[in-house]
Copies of this chain bind each other. A is one copy, B any other.
Amino acid sequence: MESTVSNIFLANRSKNIRSSAIREILKITVKDSNFLSFAGGLPNPNLLNKELLNQSMEETILFSSEVALQYGDSSGYTDLKKIILEKFVLDEGVKLDSIMITHGSQQGLDILGKLLMDENTNVLVEDPVYLGALQAFSPYGPNLISLPMEFDGPNVSELKKILSEKKIHCFYTNPNYQNPSTITWSLEKRRAVANLLDEFGVILIEDEAYKYLDFSGIIYPSIFSYRKEKDLTFVLGSFSKIISPGFRIGWVIVPEVYKDSFNRIKQGIDLNTNQFSQIILTKLLSLMDINEHFSKIQTHYRNQKNQLVELLNHYLPEVKFQDPQGGMFLWVEYPDVRENELMERIMEKKVVMVPGNEFRLKESDSAFFRMNFSFLQGSDMEEGVKRIHSVYRDIIT
């Protein structure tokens, strides 16, 4: 099939385009509701207050339909940017017009790839790395380089070595409860890396998708906040994990010197982000008590995480993982099995997780799986772990 396509016409860059096992798995689980899925990164839609959402929609049509049903500014709806600046951007010195609204933060990654990455531009990424970033960047042909990670952030001396050896243009990172590794950078490492990036003049692409999903309500300062070279830092935020992925709304804090180019790229790719959703979301955010909401989702996710940790400790004491401080995933190593084999066998039992090699530039021999704990509820979660347990036992004995 692939060969037929390339025989017709296909841009050269198409050969670089990665598919996502996650989304293929998601399709299977959508079609067959008997599947128990630890695969997706699906927030729980029931955590959103539907009455406030209804009120927001009514007010949108009643008072703002002429704006909501029209084209809009490529950089985003101003009142939404104001709320983002006021409630979600904790860094000093960010101006209203530094905020660009995107169709989910995934679109922010695509725009940054287009803006910053040529064929063979050296781009540093964490190992393992968020799959969506690989999908967004790869078509532009950059030379992706893996940075070894430790439990509390990058290996700083390794980072210094890489930066000294070759010109690195951009570094993409997801420093809070990283997807998939769940690693959260210590304050020391944030500061040390910020200094190194300043010293070597490296652009930082800081993805804060999980910033507000700490189980204890901690909010870590951005790496951006430690940098002197603010013009070399893009910070991405998202409403997908804290409000709903259904709206597809994220944002990017864009340095002054890049604003014009960023905005022109946004124009070319979709004119502007969905006004209808932007305005409903703006009303919803102004009606909500956002701190109360954070506390509600943090509690919910903490309980879900604790449940999965207990189940794994009980049924699968051999597996290894770092107990995360936030986010939606566990990053679990299954000793003494091959990743592919375990994956195939659990899918026969109608359970899915995401194989760790999906998140790596070079395949690892160890068997890691990303396990989501936000989606499966109560006995379904236990049933899923039991099925994995029985398959795993079967393989290793």
Partner-B contacts on A (CB < 8 A): 1, 4-5, 8-14, 17-20, 23, 26-27, 30, 40-43, 45-46, 48, 50, 53-54, 57-58, 61, 65-66, 68-74, 103-104, 106-107, 110, 114-118, 121, 132, 135-136, 138-140, 169-170, 203, 231-232, 240, 244-248, 257-258, 260-261, 264-265, 267-277, 280
CB distance from A246 to the nearest CB of B (A): 4
Known contacts A261-B14, A264-B17; is A248 also within 8 Å of B231 by CB? no
Measured CB to CB, the nearest residue on chain B to A272 is B248
Asked if residues B11 and A121 are in contact (CB atoms below 8 Å), the reply is: yes
Q: State in angstroms the CA–CA spacing of A114 and B240 once bound together.
A: 26
CB distance from A247 to the nearest CB of B (A): 6
Asked if residues B246 and A69 are in contact (CB atoms below 8 Å), the reply is: yes
Q: Which residue in B66, B140, B245, B268 is a CB contact (below 8 Å) of A18?
A: B268
Can you name 7 extra interface pairs (CB under 8 A) apart from A14-B265, A71-B246, A269-B269? A13-B114, A19-B264, A45-B66, A53-B61, A135-B268, A248-B274, A274-B274
Sample of 30 A–B contacts (CB below 8 Å)? A8-B258, A9-B116, A10-B115, A10-B116, A10-B261, A11-B121, A12-B118, A13-B114, A14-B115, A20-B267, A40-B71, A41-B71, A45-B65, A46-B66, A54-B57, A54-B58, A57-B57, A68-B246, A70-B246, A71-B245, A72-B246, A103-B270, A132-B268, A138-B268, A139-B268, A244-B276, A246-B276, A247-B276, A248-B273, A274-B274
Asked if residues A269 and B65 are in contact (CB atoms below 8 Å), the reply is: no
Asked if residues B103 and A8 are in contact (CB atoms below 8 Å), the reply is: no
Asked if residues B232 and A8 are in contact (CB atoms below 8 Å), the reply is: yes
Asked if residues A5 and B258 are in contact (CB atoms below 8 Å), the reply is: yes
Measured CB to CB, the nearest residue on chain B to A4 is B257
Work out how many copies of this chain go into the complex. Answer: 2
Q: State in angstroms the CA–CA spacing of A65 and B140 once bound together.
A: 36
Q: State in angstroms the CA–CA spacing of A244 and B107 once bound together.
A: 22
Q: State in angstroms the CA–CA spacing of A18 and B103 once bound together.
A: 21
Asked if residues A11 and B45 are in contact (CB atoms below 8 Å), the reply is: no
Known contacts A61-B53, A139-B265; is A270 also within 8 Å of B71 by CB? no
